[in-house]
Amino acid sequence: MSVMVPFNPVEPFLRSERMPHIWCSGCGIGTTVNCFARALAESKLPLDKVAIVSGIGCTGRVAGYLNLDSFHTTHGRAIPFATGLKLANPELTVVVYSGDGDLIAIGGNHFIHAARRNVDIKVICINNFIYGMTGGQVAPTTPVGATATTAPYGCFERPFNLPYLAESSGAVYVARWTAYHVRYIAHSMAEALRKKGFSFIEILAPCPTLYQRRNKLGDGLETMRYYKQHSVIRHGANTRDLNLDFQGEITLGKFVDIERPTLQQTMGQRFRQVLRERYAG
């Protein structure tokens, strides 16, 4: 007797020998990795020329599972590592894949500066509103009122509105989805992979073990229902209006898709203009 194993189109993009992965059941990160693999396939980019950089945390482990040149860097510093990698090797497509705490708290300064410079990297932020790896501490994305191990009486700090932060810092592509909206995610990722410049995709994802359970929001499936029922897609919405309230309505879509010269383009233009034939670039 033989068992037919259907071909999994995502498998060539993964390091199968590293499975099983570390993520909890119901976690949204793996779902987004599936979307990313499909986006890579759709983009038709040569995989040898795609590099992935992660920081630290649950999402920081993404780099290790993808069958690409991959870099698992230090906490908060995936973006400046990616900046150096891209500048040194411009033919690479460089993707930063990390979590909200990594990219926006400890790495927040690098996030705004890379967007300002328009470094040609694609930043995917899995936002689960919490520090998962360390056990459920409050993050700069935790909605007001949600509890965390270090906000036991509920979060009282206003969270960042990430699309607004990205756009106002200079990102040329900004989108937000939830882990429920897998086809939109894959499509958005494929668009970002083709886009020149600092591209940012926020993906809301459940952390059933720490965020949902502590806040009595059910399991991963329950969160998918919430995403489905409370999300509204408004492409082109003003990013000022994208604040996230605890269990409130979620606005999704592609908000920014503009053209602006990248860091390498402005650098080259400047040197050619000023140095002319002396420029060795």
Partner 1 sequence: MSSPRRSAVLSGAHFMDGNHAACEGAIAAGANFAAGYPITPSTEIVERFASRAPLVGATFLQMEDELASSIAILGAAWGGAKAFTVTSGPGFSLMMEHIGFAAMTETPCVFVNVQRGGPSTGLPTLPAQADMMQARWGSHGDYEIIALCPNSPQECFNLMIDAFNFSEQYRNPVLLMMDESVGHMTEKVVIPPADQIDIIPRRYTSKAPSEYLPFKPASDDVPEMARVGEGYHFHVTGLTHDEHGYPSMEWQTQEALVGRLVGKIRAHADDLTRTEEKQLEDAEIVLVAYGISSRVALWALQKAREEGLRVGLLRPIVVWPFPEKRIRELAQRVKAFVVVELNYGQMVREVERAAAGRARTILVPHAGGAVHPPESIVKVLREVGS
Kindly tell me which residue out of 221, 232, 258, 275 binds partner 1, with binding defined by CB under 8 A.
275
222 binds partner 1 (CB under 8 A): no
Smaller CB separation from partner 1, 216 or 276: 276
Burial 157-182 (b: 16+ CB within 10 A, else e): eebbbbbbbbbebbbbbbbbbbbbbb
Where are the strands (E) in the chain, listed by range? Answer: 50-54, 69-72, 93-99, 121-127, 130-131, 137-138, 173-178, 199-204, 231-233, 250-257
CB of 160 to partner 1, least distance (A): 18
Q: What are the phi and psi torsion angles at 156 (to 5°)? A: -120, 10
CB of residue 81 to partner 1, shortest distance in Å: 4
* Closest distance to partner 1 from the beta carbon of 274 (Å): 9
Query: What CA–CA distance (Å, rounded) separates 195 from 228?
Result: 28
CA-to-CA separations, 58 to 53, 114, 209, 232, 250, in angstroms, rounded:
14, 23, 12, 27, 23
With CB under 8 A as the contact rule, the residue among 8, 16, 109, 269 that binds partner 1 is: 109
Q: Is 98 in the site for partner 1 (CB under 8 A)?
A: no
Q: 137: helix, coil or strand?
A: strand
Of 3 and 19, which CB lies nearer to partner 1 in the complex structure?
Answer: 19
In the complex with partner 1, the residue whose CB is nearer, 46 or 152, is: 46
Nearer to partner 1, 54 or 188 (CB): 54
- Give dist(CA 128, CA 228) in Å, integer: 16
Minimal distance, residue 260 CB to partner 1, in Å: 18
Report whether 134 contacts 147 (CB < 8 A): no
CB of 262 to partner 1, least distance (A): 13
Residues 239, 219: Cα–Cα separation, whole Å = 29
Distance between CA 162 and CA 200 in Å, rounded? 9
Q: How far apart are CB 14 and partner 1 at their closest, in Å? A: 11
The rounded distance, in Å, linking the Cα atoms of 248 and 218 is 16
Q: How far apart are CA 59 and CA 237, in angstroms?
A: 27
If one asks whether residue 187 binds partner 1 (CB under 8 A), the answer comes out as no
- For position 21 contacting partner 1 by CB under 8 A, the verdict is no
For partner 1, the closer of residues 42 and 69 by Cβ is: 69
Number of residues that bind partner 1 (CB under 8 A): 41
Closest distance to partner 1 from the beta carbon of 94 (Å): 9
Distance of CA 186 to the CA centre of its chain: 12
Q: Rule CB under 8 A: which of 31-90 touch partner 1?
A: 47-49, 51, 53, 63-64, 67-74, 76-77, 80-89
Task: Please pick, from the candidates 9, 11, 16, 18, the single residue that binds partner 1 as defined by CB under 8 A.
Answer: 18
- The residue ranges that bind partner 1 (CB under 8 A) are 15, 18, 47-49, 51, 53, 63-64, 67-74, 76-77, 80-89, 91-92, 109-110, 113, 267, 271, 275, 278-281
